[in-house]
Amino acid sequence: MGIDDKEIEKLAKLSRIKITDAEKKKLSKDIENIFEYVSEIQEISSNLQDDNFLNSRFVNVMREDGEPHKSGIYTEKILKEAPDIEDNYIRVKKIL
> For binding to other proteins (CB under 8 A), which residues are involved?
3, 8, 11-12, 14-19, 23, 26-27, 30-31, 33-35, 37-42, 44-46, 48, 50-51, 53-54, 56-61, 74, 77-78, 80-84, 90, 92-95
CB of residue 21 vs other proteins: minimum separation in angstroms?
13
CB of residue 24 vs other proteins: minimum separation in angstroms?
11
31 Cβ partners below 8 Å, 6+ apart?
Answer: 3, 8, 11
CB of residue 13 vs other proteins: minimum separation in angstroms?
8
Residue ranges in the chain assigned as alpha helix (H): 5-14, 21-38, 75-79
Number of helical H runs and strand E runs in the chain: 3, 2
Q: What gap in Å lies between CA 96 and CA 86, rounded to an integer?
A: 19
Q: What gap in Å lies between CA 11 and CA 35, rounded to an integer?
A: 14
Nearer to other proteins, 54 or 72 (CB): 54
CB of residue 1 vs other proteins: minimum separation in angstroms?
10
